[in-house]
Amino acid sequence: MENNSTEIFKIALGLIHPWEVSSVVFEGKVNERALHIYLSFVRGSKFKGEDNKDYTAHDTVERQWQHLNFFEHRCYIHAKVPRIRQADGKVITQPVPWARAGSGFTLLFEAYSMLLIESEMPVSKAANIMGVYSQRLWNVFKYWVSKAHQGDEIKNLTQLGFDETSSKKGHNYVTTAVDLQERRVLFATPGKDAKCIEQTVDYLKEKKVAVEGINKVCIDMSPAFISGCSNHLPQAQITFDKFHIVKEVNKAMDELRKLERRGNDMLKGHKYTFLKNKISPKIETERDLLMEMYPKLGEGYRLVQLFKDFWEIEEKEEAEGYLAFWCDIADDSGIFPFRAVVKTIKAHWSGIINYIESKINNGILEGINSKIQLAKKRARGYKNIDNFISMIYFTCGKLEFDYPLYST
């Protein structure tokens, strides 16, 4: 006969036959108040083997799991877990309904921990709240993310974007592969070389994705990415990311400003005067004055503005003519930074022109990268590359998780 206290804990834990609460022990230590709940199974109970036959327990092994706190008491579940010996002699430890195999935590403990992380809480802070070492919670986190990623379905993939990010400033680069239509990360891998593209394609094939159906890819002008896409996605049309190209033009403008600034303190602090689209009337007046005083700056600014018009062109033939026209006047200007941009454009001509038809860019990746950077900032960087990749999938993969929902 169960007493009232054990019955309460049986209901709270959601136990069903053959499991029952055998005893409950409170500990009132100075530094820690703990509740130990001991579970047992009804003697003579049958358990299902891998051969789908029923067996009684051959012997038991003692296990312990940390559970959610009860009334500010740290709570631990203890049980003698049955092992069965099958007809073929194989000994199997039975799964328990309150925890997954190999974990030292109950499912509800893990689910609540994951909900804390879902609320954009750093893993280290969630671990502190749950009263465990952060590495143990990282192991829980990576298990559920890996499980969800393995079960992820990829459908109707036709457009891919590749970009790189780092786990800490300037260290441990990771390449992300993004479904540009679904706006989510499909795959992430350490590095930023051609092998990353190969690994992505191998992963997609493992997921039974029709890789030959990928007809467009968007990348920056990295030689490694170009090589990787040409070799492993040869059917896909390459579009170079609009924002990286614009960045090159803006960089040329800033380099020109720095060249003109030598010995001219008036140009200090005016980096964004020539780069921002929206500026105050006061700054606009200052900009116009500076361009009068420094004609090369005026010419450079005109080239920046003319280049913006390229992206508005609808017809490919017209775009090629306009880009050729821009390259001619940039070359004729004699301004070294812009002449360097012309060389870059001519070396990547088709991938730039392809934008006119594809209209794809990595702006989606920039949005995803912002999420990644925010998670990185909250965690103050990631020393462990696997932790970083798991967080990328968690925040940007649109994965479906099947851990039990926690309810109070």
Kindly report, residue by residue over 281-304, the tens digit of the pLDDT.
777 777 777 777 778 888 998 999
Specify whether 236 is located in the same domain as 311: no
Specify whether 230 is located in the same domain as 369: yes
| Residue 33 located in a structural domain | yes
Q: Is the pTM of this model over 0.75?
A: yes
- Looking at residue 408, its pLDDT comes to 36
Integer Cα distance of 113 and 141 in angstroms: 8
Specify whether 15 is located in the same domain as 51: yes
Specify whether 80 is located in the same domain as 168: no
| Residue 152 located in a structural domain | no
* Residue whose C-alpha is closest to residue 13's, from 67, 94, 81: 67
| Residue 21 located in a structural domain | yes
Strands lying side by side in the sheet with 237-240: 184-190, 171-179, 159-168, 216-219, 237-240
Structure token digits, residue 238:
């390459």
| Residue 405 located in a structural domain | no
Specify whether 216 is located in the same domain as 233: yes
pLDDT digits (tens, 9 = 90+) for 71-81: 788 999 999 99
- Looking at residue 275, its pLDDT comes to 62
Specify whether 35 is located in the same domain as 129: yes
Q: Is the pLDDT of residue 406 over 60?
A: no
| Residue 406 located in a structural domain | no
Q: What is the mean pLDDT of the chain?
A: 89
Q: Which amino acid is at 275?
A: L
**Mean pLDDT, rounded, for 130-142:** 94
Q: Is the pLDDT of residue 1 over 60?
A: no
Specify whether 92 is located in the same domain as 139: yes
Containing domain of residue 104, as a range?
A: 4-147
Q: Which residues contact 200 (CB under 8 A, 6 or more apart)?
A: 160, 162, 175, 177, 186, 187, 189, 232
Specify whether 236 is located in the same domain as 296: no
In which band, very low, low, confident or very high, does the pLDDT at 27 lie, cut at 50, 70 and 90? confident
| Residue 342 located in a structural domain | yes
DSSP state of 362: T
CATH number of the domain enclosing 191: 3.30.420.10
- Residue 325, Cβ neighbours under 10 Å: how many? 12
Q: Which residues contact 78 (CB under 8 A, 6 or more apart)?
A: 36, 37, 38, 39, 62, 63, 64
pLDDT digits (tens, 9 = 90+) for 85-132: 999 999 999 999 999 999 999 999 999 999 999 988 899 999 999 999
pLDDT digits (tens, 9 = 90+) for 337-381: 999 999 999 999 999 999 999 998 877 877 888 888 887 777 666
Q: Is the pLDDT of residue 4 over 70?
A: no
Specify whether 186 is located in the same domain as 199: yes
Q: Is the pLDDT of residue 382 over 50?
A: yes
Answer with the one of 100, 117, 147 that is the final residue of a domain. 147
Specify whether 79 is located in the same domain as 206: no
Answer with the one of 147, 167, 195 that is the final residue of a domain. 147
Structure token digits, residue 279:
């500026």
Q: Is the pLDDT of residue 272 over 90?
A: no
Residue 270 burial by Cβ neighbours in a 10 Å radius (0-12, 13-18, 19+): middle
- Looking at residue 285, its pLDDT comes to 75
Q: How many domains does the chain have?
A: 3
Specify whether 192 is located in the same domain as 286: no
Specify whether 333 is located in the same domain as 258: yes
